[in-house]
Structure 1
């Protein structure tokens, strides 16, 4: 459905089979998400604080966490054809709980949108000039907003252009810079900055894409089979983490800086602007897209008003651009660490409900046969909210093991136990009829 603002893209309904895409079309977008400038920045952050092989291990552990989460929630998405925040209504959170998830996703991805726009703005201000960094943040943010307004189809074609361009330019940057150094010496060299532990590094890796993993249904609802989800996840996350992440690690060792703009300009000079722009557009469009979906769910649930996805996208795009201009990039590491423990419980609960407890699985299966959504949903599921909070706090404050893994596993286990004890119960019943359009 289209409007004067943008394409609605099945924001609150199932994606019909006839509107789905080949696995390759979706896989290019998945790879574009993980092989973006943010991954370069993450690799550089690790390389600035870790030895090469320690960073390699952190990337490996983080990638495994992300792949497991993305595959399970991705399969839920392709089966049901629903966005993450809509699917949450019948996977443990209820109608009101799903609104909280939609709001949390929206706020988090506005933050990511701001981070990505700020990275691009720094490069554009240095390499092009003409405008201060804050103004470039606004320009870049509005450019991405214009792409996302046209929906999944427009984003697919953007991926076909930006992903190859970014990989070619990054390859050039790597070869140019590393040719000036002894590769063996870089691998063995000590990091230039304050040391990061393996636990900190792995949490940064998992936190760097954990929101992307949790919101996988937003993308996989356009897939055609579970096998497609597995293929694109293994290909996109594995190659993205290693190819781009390790490149960032080596370049940080070579340049002795975690700053992406410094790395790019020292390697390929003015061509670095293309690296910056191409590497940011593809990840930032998905940040904005899923943030808009979350906002649509939140407004529809809380206010009973149907907001077109294009309108929500425009609002989020402007807010994210302003945040970028305000300097949100300065909070990058702290932001990733918080995400690393706050969002995994959402996936743990949804997977536990859908595959093990199955309290509302029958409602989804019945309505799927007719291409609709279940007519009702629980309003609240108190046990879920308690488990979410407890698991997030456990992941944040318990220093044994990995915070992201701890919170994910604990949420899964507690929900299964609560389900077996009969504690997973809805309070109130809400009809899922279409809200009034505005």
Structure 2
């Protein structure tokens, strides 16, 4: 059985590696969720059908390269993504900063998911509470559950995925039965149009955190073939099936609002599944974000924060984001993720596969099943390259923002590293 919290600061031994299915189900679960359905709905609402599927295909290609690259490294070394970053350019403190970036991004996801939860509750109660009160109540409720380790959330997680998949299948059958395919293909965007480059960046932004934490799972994989098949399966199901169906449903119903979609086609049961799905995803978001910030503070300042207190504070911030309307900026949030996370992955892959700065120490220690004795303190070149790549992705209007950030960060890191070598 795969346990993400096991072997946090050591390699996963070969005799603890598991089957393809054990890792694939968890990896698939990260992206076969409400997030992807929301993304597909936005694409279907704001792009033509052809443009939406081109965006999915191009974004999936970038996601595949990033996921395979880090996934194979995680499998080979048997370590998590944040630990791998220490010997992939960032160093000990640099890897803590990477973890902090992930934690803040997950906090944003918490705010978005909580807003959907609140909207579902408000819809079910026919607007009696109002969105602000609903968002405050749902955010506080979930924060307290996660902070004090309410066991029922584990049960919720087990039933949420199958329920969500069954709901998507039911809505797809109900909505798409008998539709005129020709009309859907020819239908122009109903919402504010998205450009192809914006659409691609959003697709990458919706999945790229999963790429960064893929080593957390593939360190349990036995071989390269398993990692390749895990990546392929996740793309086919999450992008082409879940996203693809959401695109068609959004076009048919003329809305990108998933709460409206669920309520229109599945009534109270649909809203209940939305609630369960947001509970499942936000449990992970809040837990991982709290853990990441706790580890970051300890790594940089040597001060150990209390987990429950940290969770309460972070959950309160996430709830405030919901109340302030982060859901209204969902597309902007995905676009931001699409230029912040790819540079980190690019730098790690350039360091691990091309420069191979620490491959010799990794190889020697791997033979003994331990981690390298020496750990760089902070990789300034990696941090600078990531900052430059993200800035380029935000400011350069030509091309595809997510690709700009990825290529520029990787190229700059390579050049600066070579320059540093020459100077020494």
TM range (shorter): 0.7 to 0.9
Structure 2 counterparts to residues 128-143 of structure 1, below 5 A: 132-134=133-135, 135-143=137-145
Evaluate the alpha carbon distance shift between residue 224 and residue 63 of structure 1 in structure 2; reply closer, same or farther with a 3 A threshold: same
SS of residue in 2 equivalent to 1:380: coil
Structure 2 counterparts to residues 290-329 of structure 1, below 5 A: 290-305=288-303, 316-317=314-315, 319-329=317-327
Q: Which of these residues, 359, 362, 365, is aligned with residue 360 of structure 2?
A: 362
Deviation, structure 1 residue 167? 0.9
**Contact 2:147 2:309 (8 Å CA) reproduced:** no
**Contact 1:85 1:294 (8 Å CA) reproduced:** no
**Contact 1:387 1:411 (8 Å CA) reproduced:** yes
Structure 2 counterparts to residues 94-133 of structure 1, below 5 A: 94-127=91-124, 132-133=133-134
Structure 2 counterparts to residues 331-346 of structure 1, below 5 A: 331-346=329-344
The CA RMSD over aligned residues, in Å, is: 3.0
TM-score of the superposed pair, with normalisation by structure 1 = 0.85
1:89 and 1:78 map into 2 onto residues whose CA distance is 16
Deviation, structure 1 residue 185? 1.8
2:334 and 2:355 map into 1 onto residues whose CA distance is 31
2:53 and 2:104 map into 1 onto residues whose CA distance is 31
Structure 2 counterparts to residues 256-271 of structure 1, below 5 A: 256-271=254-269
Q: Structure 1, residues 275-317: CA drift from partner, whole Å, max 9, x if none?
A: 3134334544443454345324412320224668788667655
Name the structure 2 match of 1:276.
274
Name the structure 2 match of 1:417.
415
Structure 2 counterparts to residues 45-84 of structure 1, below 5 A: 45-84=42-81
TM-score of the superposed pair, with normalisation by structure 2 = 0.88
SS of residue in 2 equivalent to 1:343: helix
Evaluate the alpha carbon distance shift between residue 143 and residue 32 of structure 1 in structure 2; reply closer, same or farther with a 3 A threshold: farther
Evaluate the alpha carbon distance shift between residue 87 and residue 138 of structure 1 in structure 2; reply closer, same or farther with a 3 A threshold: same
1:424 and 1:300 map into 2 onto residues whose CA distance is 36
1:281 and 1:199 map into 2 onto residues whose CA distance is 32
Name the structure 2 match of 1:88.
85
Evaluate the alpha carbon distance shift between residue 95 and residue 294 of structure 1 in structure 2; reply closer, same or farther with a 3 A threshold: same
**Contact 2:156 2:276 (8 Å CA) reproduced:** no
**Contact 1:384 1:424 (8 Å CA) reproduced:** no
Name the structure 1 match of 2:24.
27
1:425 and 1:205 map into 2 onto residues whose CA distance is 40
Name the structure 2 match of 1:226.
224
Q: Structure 1, residues 91-138: CA drift from partner, whole Å, max 9, x if none?
A: 001122112111111111111122122212211332257864211233
2:333 and 2:218 map into 1 onto residues whose CA distance is 26
**Contact 1:8 1:308 (8 Å CA) reproduced:** no
Evaluate the alpha carbon distance shift between residue 219 and residue 324 of structure 1 in structure 2; reply closer, same or farther with a 3 A threshold: farther
1:324 and 1:13 map into 2 onto residues whose CA distance is 37
Deviation, structure 1 residue 59? 0.8
Name the structure 2 match of 1:432.
none
Evaluate the alpha carbon distance shift between residue 350 and residue 158 of structure 1 in structure 2; reply closer, same or farther with a 3 A threshold: farther
Evaluate the alpha carbon distance shift between residue 60 and residue 7 of structure 1 in structure 2; reply closer, same or farther with a 3 A threshold: closer
Q: Structure 1, residues 48-80: CA drift from partner, whole Å, max 9, x if none?
A: 111111111111111111111011111122222
SS of residue in 1 equivalent to 2:377: strand
Q: Which of these residues, 8, 12, 25, is aligned with residue 9 of structure 2?
A: 12
Bigger shift: residues 36-45 or 282-291: 282-291
Deviation, structure 1 residue 380? 2.4
Name the structure 2 match of 1:429.
none
2:203 and 2:224 map into 1 onto residues whose CA distance is 25
Would you say how many aligned residue pairs link Structure 1 and Structure 2? 416
Deviation, structure 1 residue 199? 0.9
Evaluate the alpha carbon distance shift between residue 346 and residue 366 of structure 1 in structure 2; reply closer, same or farther with a 3 A threshold: same
Deviation, structure 1 residue 32? 1.7
Deviation, structure 1 residue 45? 0.8
Name the structure 2 match of 1:371.
369
Structure 2 counterparts to residues 131-280 of structure 1, below 5 A: 132-134=133-135, 135-143=137-145, 161-179=159-177, 181-280=179-278
SS of residue in 2 equivalent to 1:386: helix
SS of residue in 1 equivalent to 2:246: helix
Deviation, structure 1 residue 235? 0.3
**Contact 2:75 2:221 (8 Å CA) reproduced:** yes
